[in-house]
Structure 1
Amino acid sequence: MNTIPALRNRFSLLALGALLGSFLLLPGCGKKQDGPKQMPPALPAMKVELSSASVTTDYSVRLEGLADAEIRPQVDGMLQAILVKEGDLVKKGQPLFKIDDSVYREQYNTALAAQRAAEAQAAVAKVNAEKLVPLVENKVVAPVQLTTAKAQEQAARALAAQAAASARSAAINLDYTVIKAPVAGYIGRIPYRQGNLLTKNQAAALTTLSDVNRMYAVFSISEAGFADFKKLYPGATLQQKIDAVPPVKLTLSDGTVYQHDGKLESISGDFDASTGSIRLRVSFPNPEGFLRSGNSGTVSLSSNYNHVILVPQSATVELQDKVMVTLLKPGNKVMKQVISVAGRSGPNYIVSEGLKPGDVIVTAGIERLQDGMVIKPLSAAAPGAPAPAAQTPNAR
C-alpha cells in the first residue's frame, strides 16, 4: 500500500528534472546578453576668442520738421477764402487764408481820419504859438499867453501821436485779415471751411505749417541708458561724445531704410521728472520731401567694441533673468555656465563676464544636455571668423 505513492513521487521528480534540463539546453539560456554600447551625442562646439563687434541699438522716434508752426487767426471774423490746399508747398510770406476785412477796413479808415484831424489841430496850435513869439518880444502880450500857446501845441502834438498809434493799430488788424506763412514749408490738415467763424482765442489751429527741408527724429533714453552712452563713446565732454556717434540710420514704419544718414545733434539739458528720461535729437536731410512731420520710425545708433568675446545667441539659453551657455570641460563633459551680456551684435551676444578666451562651448543641441553628460564635440565657426578646427579639452 505504501509503494504506490512513493513511486508517484519518484516519477514526478524525474519529470521535473527533465523539464529543467531541456530549458538549460536552449540556446542562450542562462547566459547574460550585452546590448549595443550607447555612443555620446555628437554636437558642434567652438573655442571663444577675443574679437571686435559693432553694436546697434534701436529707438522708436517721432519726426518733427525744422519748424512746425501752428497757423492761428489773430483777429475775429468770418473765413472768407482758403488760398492753399492741404499738402501745398508754400513760401514764407505767401497768403494762406483771408478773413472778411470790412469791419477792420472801416476801423482803419476812421482811425486814419482821426489821425489827420489831430495832426491838423497840432499844426494850428503850432501856428498860434509861433504867432505870439514876436508879440511877447515886443511886449505887446504877456509871456503867459505864449507859454499857454506852447502847452496847447504840445497837447495837440500828443493827441496827433495818439491818433497815429490808433491808425497803425487799425492797420495791423486789417493786415491780420490776410493770414500769411511765417516760414516756408508744407501745409498740414485744414479743418476749417469757407464761411466758418474764426476767433483769435480758438482752441484749434487753422493748419500746421512744417518746414521739412531738414527733419528731426526725437526719442528718449533712461537715466541708465544715458550713463551707458557716456561710457560707450570717446570724448572728454558731452559734445565730443555726441560728435563721436557714427552716422545714424532711420527705418520707416513700413520697414524701409531711409536713404540719407542722420547725425545726432543734441541731448536735452535736463531729465523729464515724470518719466526719468532725457531727450535726444537726430537730424536728417530731406531734399526729396519724403519725410513729413508726425511720421514714426526707428533710429539705429551704432557703437564699436574691441577685444570682446562673442557667442551666438543660438548657443545660449535663458532661465528667468539669467543667460547661460554650455561649457565643455575636460573629458568632454558639459556644464552650464552663467554669462553677463553687455549687448548684441547681430546674431551674437557680447559677453562681459562668465567666459574667457580659450573656453569651449557647445553651440547646438544644448537644450537636452545635463551637467556631467559626455558628448562628442564637432568643429564650429566662431562668430565673425572662418570655421576653425575643433578645439576641445583633452580627454582623460
Structure 2
Amino acid sequence: MKNLMKVKQTFFSQSSILVTGMLVFLSSCGNNQQQAEIPPAEVPVEQVKEGLGLSRREYPASIQGVSDVEIRPQVSGYLHKILVDEGAYVQAGQSLFKIDDRVYMEQYNTAKAAILVAKANQKTAKIDLDRKMEMVREGIVSDLQLHQAQASYDAAAAALAQAEAAAQSAKINYDFCTIKAPVSGYLGRIPYRLGSLIGMSSVEPLTVVSDARQINVYFNMSEIDFIQFQEKHAGSSVQEKLKHAAPVDLMVANGSVYPHKGRIDAVEGRFNETTGSVTFRAKFDNQQGALRAGNTGKIVIEQQYDKVLLIPIASTMSIQDKIYVFGVEKDNKVVQKGISVLGKSGTNYMVSSGISAGDRYITAGFERLQPGMTVLPQQTKVDQVNAQLQGR
C-alpha cells in the first residue's frame, strides 16, 4: 500500500509540472503574437492634379413657337367651310375658315342702300340751301330761313357720313366671315366641325397657328446655378453676360442632339418662390420644321474650366450628401477629407475646395480603412512613368 501511495504522489506531481509548463508555453506564445506588428496595408496612391474640366449640365425644357396665335372668330355664325387641315403649314393672309355670311352680306347691302338715301337727302338739302341763298340776296326771305337751310344741309351731310361709317362697319363684319391666318406657321388641332355655331364667346379657339421658323425653349435654373452662370461670364449686367454666353445644345425626347445650336437671349425678372428657380429662354432656328410647339427636351450647357483640380469619381465616397476623399499624409497616415465640387467632367469631379494640388489620395480600397491608420503607398503606373520621366 505504501508503494502504491508513492506511485500516485509521483504521478500527480509530474502531471502538475507538465500542465504548468504547457500554460507557460501558451502564455509565451500569446505574448509573442501580441508583440508581433501587423504590416500596413498597401494601397494605390495618386497625386491631385490640375487639368482642363468640361462641365455638362442638363435642364428639362419646353418648346414653344416664337408666336403661337390663337385663331378666334370676330363675328358669330355657323361654320360654313374649313379650308385647311390640322397640322398644315399656312402663309400669313391665307384663308382658313368661312362663316356663313348671308346675314352679314344683307347687312352690308342695307348699309350701302342707306348711303344712297343719305346722298339723296344731302343733294335735296343742297338744292334748298342754294335756293335760299339766292332768295336772301333778292330780299325775298330772311336770313333765318337761310340758317335753317344750312342746318338741314349740315344734318344731311352728317347723316351721309354716318351711313358710310355704318356701311364700312358692315363690310368689316362681312370680311370677318372669312378667317385668315395672321402669321405663317403650322396649324394646331381644329376642335370644331362644319355647322358648329361659333362666336367671340367660344371657349376654345378655332385653332392655333405656331410660327416655328424659330422656336423658343424655356428651362429653369436653380439659384446656385444662376449665380455660377453670372460668375462665369463677363459683363456688368445680365444682358451683357448673355451676349458672352456660349451657344447651347438641345437634346430632344429620343436622346439625340438637335443639329442647330441655340443662344440664351432672355432671363425672367424674378425667381419663382415655390421652386426657387428662374426661367431662361433660348432661341433656335427651325427652318426645316423639325421641332413643333409643345415638344419637350433638355437644354445642355457646357462650361470649360481651366486649371481645375480633378479627382476620379470612383476615388471618392458619398456620405449623407457629402463627398469625401481619403488622403495620405507625409507620415503615411490616412485622413478623411470632405471636398466641395463644381461639377462633373467625364469620370472626374472638379474640386473647388477641401484638397490641394499635389496632395496624395487613395484611388481604391479605401472602404476598409479608418482615419489614422498607417498605409503603405503604392504608386500607380501613371505615377511611376511620371517619376521615371522626371528622373531623366
1:40-189 correspondence to structure 2 within 5 Å? 40-189=40-189
Counterpart contact for 1:377–1:390, Cα < 8 Å: no
* Structure 1 counterpart of 2:339: 339
Displacement after TM superposition at 1:93 (Å)? 0.7
Question: 1:290: which partner in 2?
Answer: 290
Name whichever of 113-122 and 172-181 sits farther off: 113-122
How far, CA to CA, are the matches of 2:360 and 2:286 in structure 1?
Answer: 49
Match of 1:388 among 373, 383, 386: 383
Q: Which residue of structure 2 lines up, in the alignment, with residue 371 of structure 1?
A: 371
**Is the contact between residue 185 and residue 209 of structure 1 (CA under 8 Å) also seen in structure 2?**
yes
Deviation at residue 16 of structure 1 after TM alignment? 5.0
Residue 191 in structure 1 maps to residue 191 in structure 2: yes
Distance between the aligned counterparts of 2:55 and 2:221, measured in 1? 17
Q: Is the 8 A contact 1:360 1:391 kept in 2?
A: no
How far is the alpha carbon of 1:18 from its aligned partner?
6.8
8 Å contact from structure 1 (residues 315, 362) kept in 2 = yes
Matched residue type, 1:71 = I
| Match of residue 6, structure 2, among 5, 10, 34 | 10
Question: d(CA) in 2 for partners of 1:226 and 1:202?
Answer: 42
Specify the code of the residue in structure 2 equivalent to 1:153: Y
How far, CA to CA, are the matches of 2:274 and 2:372 in structure 1? Answer: 51
After TM superposition, list the pairs within 5 Å mapping 1:201-350 onto structure 2.
201-272=201-272, 275-350=275-350
Code of the aligned partner of 1:181: A
Q: Counterparts of 2:166 and 2:273 in 1: how far apart (Å)?
A: 47
**Per-residue deviation at 1:116?**
2.0
TM-score normalised according to structure 1 size: 0.87
Instruction: Give 1:156's aligned amino acid.
Output: A
Distance 1:86 1:388, change over 3 A: farther
Structure 1: any 5+ residue segments left out of the alignment? 382-386
Following the alignment from structure 2 to structure 1, what is the Cα–Cα distance between the partners of residues 267 and 123? Answer: 61
Offset at 1:262? Answer: 0.6
| 1:220-244 superposed Cα distances (whole Å, 9 cap, x missing partner) | 2344443332212112332221011
Distance 1:183 1:305 in 2: 44
Identity %: 38
CA distance in 2, matches of 1:379, 1:121: 111
Instruction: Answer 1 or 2: which has greater helix percent.
Output: 2
Q: Deviations over 1:138-174 (max 9, x none)?
A: 3232222222111111111111111111111111111
Given that 1:233 and 1:303 are in contact with CA atoms closer than 8 Å, whether structure 2 keeps it comes out as no
Deviation at 1:37, TM superposition (A): 8.0
Report the Cα offset of residue 10 of structure 1: 2.0
For residues 112 and 83 of structure 1, the distance between their equivalents in structure 2, rounded to whole angstroms, comes to 29
Q: Secondary structure at the match of 2:159?
A: helix
Alpha-carbon separation, structure 1, partners of 2:193 and 2:208: 15
Matched AA of 1:7? N
Provide closer, same or farther for how the CA distance between residues 273 and 335 of structure 1 changes in structure 2, counting only shifts above 3 A.
closer
Q: CA deviation at 1:341?
A: 1.9
Mapped contact 1:245–1:301 kept (Cα < 8 A): no
Q: Which runs of 5+ in 2 are unaligned?
A: 388-392
User: In 2, distance between residues paired with 1:64 and 1:318?
Assistant: 39
Q: Secondary structure at the match of 2:141?
A: coil
**CA 276–123 in structure 1, closer or farther in 2 if over 3 Å, else same:** farther
Q: CA deviation at 1:79?
A: 1.2
Q: CA separation in 2, counterparts of 1:271 and 1:133?
A: 76
- 2:297 corresponds to which letter in structure 1? G
Q: Quick check: 1:125–1:152 contact (8 Å CA) kept in 2? A: yes
Distance in 2 between residues matched to 1:143 and 1:78, nearest whole Å: 57
